[in-house]
Amino acid sequence: MAIFVYAENINGVYKKAAFEAVSYAKAIADQAGDTVTVISVNPTDSSDSLFKYGANNVINIKDEGLKNFSAKSYAQAVNEVFTGNTIVFPHTTDASSIAPMLAIMKNYSLITNVLEKPENLSPFQVKRRAFSGKGFMHAKADAQGVIVTVSQNAFGVKENPVQGSEEIKELSIINDDTKVLSHEQSSGKLDLKEAEVVVSAGRGMKGPENWGMIEELAGVLGAATACSKPVSDIGWRPHSEHVGQTGKAIAPNLYVAVGISGAIQHLAGVNSSKTIVVINSDPEAPFFKSADYGVVGDAFQVIPALTEKIKALKG
């Protein structure tokens, strides 16, 4: 039986997290001697980008009623075409709200935030992130089928080109009565959740008038900007930039934290980043314990100097 995977797209264009989920599904399929079937809703991207990561079959759901995201309707749509006993979702905001609904519809086990290939397939057992990234656990599925969400940047995107096929499935799901009251876009040019590099700043910046240097550093690094919770609470930065336990959870390749103390609630949203650089004037700031690289210094001196150095390096 094929290993299924849900490939999320934004306005029809596949996310990097979708390729990571397909790569993960391919690893399970290889373990099980199976194939990979991708489910996608209203994509505009070519399925070739999915074949590259090991998708043998792509089911493209076409449904005008699913133009706007609704977890319930999307779960219904996926439920219509998912006929296997294993499905992989990326651990994105949207996909991780579809997965539990599908788990209820199918009466399957749900294991979120998985980090590695399964340790065992029958019963399905896998290592997952727990306690907001402060620990790990080994979870075992106890139902006939299993739904997993893959923690972003944990498994990685792995090319595994195959000759795949595509089928179109026309559906007409009745969209539920969910109303979108507000949909705040990130103010930056780059989508924070998708960005490979993020420059983030906290209360150490003293005021919103000082964010020019953060934006300039982000500009030379090709980074998105983020901030700590109090910074968005006081209105220095938009809420769309707030990262942490109660904000966005991100997992870029590089996270640069400027004037942020590193409270546990902040770390909960950023500690999946591959490399963390902390710039803080207090050598005792807790963030240094989680940093790969640390600079003890005044941000008002370090950031302009760093930006100039990077500009010079880039020629």
Whether the Cβ atoms of residue 278 and residue 291 lie closer than 8 Å to each other: yes
* Segment holding 243, helix H or strand E: none
- Residue carrying the six token digits 């079937």: 37
Contact yes or no for 265/286 (Cβ under 8 A): no
The residue within the footprint of ligand FAD, chosen from 167, 191, 292, 298 (CB under 6 A), is: 298
* Footprint (CB under 6 A) of ligand FAD, residues 115-154: none
Q: How far is the CB of 286 from ligand FAD (least distance, A)?
A: 8
Minimum CB–partner distance for residue 208 and ligand FAD (Å)? 13
| 108's tokens | 């399957």
Q: Could you tell me the smallest distance in angstroms from the CB atom of residue 132 to ligand FAD?
A: 10
Whole-number minimum distance, CB 264 to ligand FAD, in Å? 7
Q: Which is nearer to ligand FAD, 110 or 285 (CB)?
A: 285
Whether residue 60 contacts residue 168, with contact meaning beta carbons closer than 8 Å, is answered with yes
- Scan residues 8-47 and list those touching ligand FAD (CB under 6 A): none
CB of 188 to ligand FAD, least distance (A): 17
Q: Does 106 bind ligand FAD (CB under 6 A)?
A: no
With CB under 6 A, what is the number of residues at the site for ligand FAD? Answer: 26
Tokens of 88: 């992989």
CA 315/CA 83 separation, integer angstroms: 54
Binding residue (CB under 6 A) for ligand FAD from 223, 285, 291, 306: 285
Cα 123-125-131 angle, rounded to 5 deg: 145
- Min. distance of Cβ 226 from ligand FAD in angstroms? 9
121 is written with which tokens? Answer: 């397939």
Per CB under 6 A, 102 contacts ligand FAD: no
- Distance in angstroms (rounded) separating the CA atoms of residues 72 and 41: 13
- Spatial distance between the Cα atoms of 180 and 163, rounded to a whole number of angstroms: 39
For residue 212, the surrounding DSSP H or E stretch is helix 212-221
Q: Smallest gap, in angstroms, from Cβ of residue 245 to ligand FAD?
A: 4
Site string for ligand FAD, 184-203 (x = CB under 6 A): ------------------xx
Helix (H, G, I), strand (E, B), or coil: what is residue 315?
A: coil
Q: Which is nearer to ligand FAD, 133 or 164 (CB)?
A: 133
172 binding ligand FAD? (CB under 6 A): no
When the beta carbons of 100 and 286 are compared against ligand FAD, the nearer one is 286
- Torsion of Cα atoms, 216 then 220 then 222 then 225, to 10°: -20
Of the two residues 32 and 263, which places its CB atom closer to ligand FAD in the complex? 263
Q: How far is the CB of 236 from ligand FAD (least distance, A)?
A: 10
- The footprint of ligand FAD on residues 206-265 (CB under 6 A) is 228-231, 244-247, 259-261, 263, 265
What residues contact 72, with CB distance under 8 A and at least 6 apart? 101, 176, 178
DSSP E strands: which ranges in 42-144?
57-62, 86-90, 109-114, 120-121, 124-130, 135-140
Q: Using CB under 6 A, which residues numbered 43 to 82 contact ligand FAD?
A: none
Which residues here bind ligand FAD, judged by CB under 6 A?
Answer: 202-204, 228-231, 244-247, 259-261, 263, 265-266, 269, 279-282, 285, 298-300
